[in-house]
Structure 1
Amino acid sequence: MNVLQDTLQDFEILAFPCNQFGMQEPGASGEEIMKGVEFVRPGGGFQPSFTMFSRVEVNGKNEHPLFTFLKDFCPSTRETFADEKHLYYSPLKNNDVRWNWEKFLVTRSGKPYMRYDPTTKPEDIRNDIMFLLQQDA
Structure 2
Amino acid sequence: MGNILLAADAALRLGPRAIGHWFWHRLRLGCGVPQRSLARQLARQADAAAAREGRPAGRFLAVPSVPTPPPDLPAGARDAVLAAIRAAPAAPGAVPGPAPGPAPDWHGPFAAHAPSLGLDLFGPGDVRPV
Q: Same fold (TM over 0.5)?
A: no
Structure 1 or 2: more helix by fraction? 2
Task: Pick the structure with greater CA Rg.
Answer: 2
Considering Cα pairs closer than 8 Å and 6+ residues apart, tell me whether 1 or 2 has the greater RCO. 1
Per the normalisation by structure 2, the TM-score is: 0.18
